[in-house]
């Protein structure tokens, strides 16, 4: 598995939409770019430090010519990716440190501590929203409705119609009683999956509204800090997602029906806080990063090497692949098999005896700005059957009945 050492904790990563280049935002405030080839060999493109404070979020323009960086310094920095130089800085873009940024339209950016919408052609924000009282953890853009969904550490998600000048959200969910950390669409965008601090995948059905989730899928023993969709070329992409957890495992999980497809990458004792697929989500490499100060590249073609063959075998047998989607909690449908050889071996090893992990992971970075782990609250987790590492039983913790997770 190719690794790119960056020298500090990675807070965010983005891939160039049509070139083999990846950009990383670091705890030290640096932005580093690397090129890579088909074998995963890398070369440094540029390194710059637009802020002395940590860089928490990155976003690219549609053609990849401009890179925007935000972070603890509260500013919005524009970088020319061709020259590797900062071309514009908007100091004090927010009154609080900025956690996330996403390009949602050619001339529209969303940035979030408590959220603002920016037109890069103007010096001031276009619309500012204040419905959340805790950090903005992730964004999802719904192209069909021109709506932006934001998840928050306050336990709710909100939906904003960017065509409206109103500062009130189009919809705001009920309190989910858990920090919402990540979000990704499934089923062609008809449903949305949200990762939480307690390791539960909450599923929202857009037809049912945004008030509350329609299903909760337990199984991850630790928080689900990052979610990512599979490239659409894979038969199971409509129902299979990649999950990055604080237990250091990058998993492929199929939903409705739910099953662990396999473990794709292992960061050891270090949490995974960001994952992305290159070539605008349709490439072969998935990048994952956390506290271990390296960017790991995993070749999806090698991991899912049997998926296309399985799909062809199913077609020859005349099996139906039609979806039955009634919007209820007990949905049942057939997805791509996506057999992972390495994942099976790892799952079997963990079934025979899971490894004990003692103590919390440390960043190891000598950065002046200690921002690592500032947003995440540690809570007790139940060990489950989704290939997680078991922790030693702590004070006031109870053993969970394994049969509770037998359906996973």
Q: What is the pLDDT of residues 129-164, one digit of tens each?
A: 999 999 999 999 999 999 999 999 999 999 999 989
The residues pairing with 294 across neighbouring beta strands, listed in sequence order, are 5
Contact criterion met (CB below 8 Å) for 223 and 358: no
Query: Looking at 100-104, 118-122, 350-354, 369-373, which range is the least confident one?
Result: 350-354
Instruction: Name the pLDDT band for 305 (thresholds 50, 70, 90).
Output: confident
Q: Within 10 A of 89 (CB to CB), how many other CB atoms are there?
A: 15
Query: What value does the mean pLDDT take over residues 222-241?
Result: 96
Q: Is the pLDDT of residue 60 over 60?
A: yes
pLDDT for residue 352: 46
- H, E, C per residue of 49-111: CCCCCCEEEEEECCCCCEEEEEECCCCEEEEECCCCEEEEEECCCCCCCCCEEEEEECCEEEE
Dihedral of CA atoms 69, 71, 76, 78 in degrees, nearest 10, equals: -20
The dihedral region occupied by 29, where left means phi > 0, alpha psi between -120 and 50, and beta the remainder, is left
pLDDT for residue 333: 38
What secondary structure does DSSP assign to 222-274, as a single string? S-EEEEEEPPTTSTTTTTEEEEEETTSEEEEEETTTTEEEEEEEE-TTSPEEE
Instruction: Name the pLDDT band for 117 (thresholds 50, 70, 90).
Output: confident
Contact criterion met (CB below 8 Å) for 171 and 188: no
The gap from C-alpha 288 to its chain's centroid, in whole angstroms, comes to 9
pLDDT for residue 121: 83
Q: Is the pLDDT of residue 341 over 70?
A: no
Asked, for residue 291, whether it belongs to a domain, the answer is no
Asked, for residue 45, whether it belongs to a domain, the answer is yes
Q: What is the chain's length?
A: 408
Residue 2 belongs to what domain range? Answer: 1-107
Which residues lie below 8 Å from residue 378, measured CB to CB, with a gap of 6+?
360
Look over the chain and give the mean of its residue pLDDT values, rounded to a whole number: 82
pLDDT for residue 369: 56
Backbone angles phi, psi at 112, to 5 degrees: -140, 120
Q: Give the residue from 342, 324, 323 showing the smallest Cα distance to 263.
A: 342
Token pair listed for 101: 């940024």
Asked, for residue 62, whether it belongs to a domain, the answer is yes
For residue 345, the surrounding DSSP H or E stretch is helix 341-352
Percent of the chain with pLDDT over 70: 74
Q: Give the residue from 320, 318, 378 showing the smallest Cα distance to 198.
A: 378
Q: Within 10 A of 83 (CB to CB), how many other CB atoms are there?
A: 10
Which residues lie below 8 Å from residue 35, measured CB to CB, with a gap of 6+?
19, 20, 21, 42, 43, 44, 45
Instruction: Name the pLDDT band for 116 (thresholds 50, 70, 90).
Output: confident
Contact criterion met (CB below 8 Å) for 339 and 306: yes
Q: Is the pLDDT of residue 380 over 60?
A: no
Asked, for residue 120, whether it belongs to a domain, the answer is no
Q: How many degrees, rounded to 5, is the angle at CA 352 between CA 350 and CA 357?
A: 45
Asked, for residue 248, whether it belongs to a domain, the answer is no
CATH classification of the domain holding 21: 2.130.10.10
Asked, for residue 376, whether it belongs to a domain, the answer is no
Q: Domain count of the chain?
A: 1
Q: Between these two residues, 205 and 365, which has the higher pLDDT value? A: 205
Q: Is the pLDDT of residue 190 over 60?
A: yes
Q: Is the pLDDT of residue 405 over 70?
A: no
Instruction: Name the pLDDT band for 87 (thresholds 50, 70, 90).
Output: very high
Instruction: Name the pLDDT band for 86 (thresholds 50, 70, 90).
Output: very high
Tokens 């996973």 correspond to: 408
Asked, for residue 88, whether it belongs to a domain, the answer is yes
Q: Give the residue from 162, 157, 139 showing the smallest Cα distance to 59.
A: 139
Contact criterion met (CB below 8 Å) for 390 and 221: yes
Q: Give 301: exposed, middle or buried? Use CB within 10 Å, 0-12, 13-18, 19+.
A: middle
Instruction: Name the pLDDT band for 290 (thresholds 50, 70, 90).
Output: confident
Asked, for residue 389, whether it belongs to a domain, the answer is no
pLDDT for residue 133: 94
Q: Is the pLDDT of residue 19 over 50?
A: yes
pLDDT for residue 339: 39
Q: What is the pTM of this model?
A: 0.80
First to last CA, the chain: 28
pLDDT for residue 386: 64
Q: Is the pLDDT of residue 375 over 70?
A: no
Q: Which pairing describes strands 215-217 and 224-229: parallel, antiparallel, or unpaired?
A: unpaired
């Amino acid at each position: 598995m190719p690794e790119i050492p960056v020298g500090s904790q990675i807070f965010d990563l983005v891939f160039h939409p049509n070139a083999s280049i990846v950009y990383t935002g670091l705890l030290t405030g640096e932005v580093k770019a690397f090129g890579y080839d088909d074998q995963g060999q890398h070369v440094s493109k540029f390194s710059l430090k637009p802020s002395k404070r940590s860089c928490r979020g990155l976003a690219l323009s549609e053609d990849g010519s401009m890179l925007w960086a935000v972070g603890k310094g509260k500013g919005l920095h524009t970088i020319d990716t061709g020259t590797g130089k900062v071309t514009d800085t908007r100091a004090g873009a927010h009154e609080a440190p900025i956690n996330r940024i996403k390009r949602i339209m050619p001339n529209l950016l969303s940035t979030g501590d408590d959220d603002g919408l920016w037109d890069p052609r103007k010096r001031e924000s276009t619309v500012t929203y204040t419905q959340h009282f805790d950090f903005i953890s992730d964004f999802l853009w719904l192209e069909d409705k021109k709506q932006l969904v934001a998840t928050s550490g306050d336990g709710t998600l909100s939906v904003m119609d960017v065509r409206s000048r109103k500062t009130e959200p189009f919809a705001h969910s009920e309190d989910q009683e858990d920090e919402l950390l990540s979000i990704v669409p499934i089923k062609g965008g008809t449903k949305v999956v949200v990762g939480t601090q307690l390791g539960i995948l909450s599923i929202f059905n857009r037809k049912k509204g945004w008030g509350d989730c329609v299903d909760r899928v337990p199984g991850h023993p630790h928080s689900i800090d990052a979610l990512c969709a599979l490239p659409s070329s894979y038969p199971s992409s409509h129902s299979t997602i990649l999950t990055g957890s604080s237990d250091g495992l990058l998993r492929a999980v199929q939903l409705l029906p739910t099953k662990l497809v396999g473990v794709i990458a292992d960061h050891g004792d270090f949490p995974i806080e960001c994952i992305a697929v290159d070539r605008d989500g349709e490439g072969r490499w998935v990048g994952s990063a956390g506290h271990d100060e390296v960017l790991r590249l995993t070749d999806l073609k090698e991991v899912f090497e049997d998926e296309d063959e399985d799909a062809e075998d199913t077609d020859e047998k005349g099996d139906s692949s039609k979806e039955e989607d009634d919007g209820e909690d007990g949905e049942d449908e057939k997805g791509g098999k996506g057999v992972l050889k390495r994942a099976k071996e790892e799952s079997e090893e963990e079934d025979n005896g899971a490894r004990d992990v003692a103590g919390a992971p440390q960043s190891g970075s000598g950065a002046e700005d200690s921002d690592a782990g500032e947003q995440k609250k540690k809570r007790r987790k139940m060990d489950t059957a989704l290939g997680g590492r078991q922790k030693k039983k702590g004070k006031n913790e109870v053993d969970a009945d394994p049969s509770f997770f037998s359906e996973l």
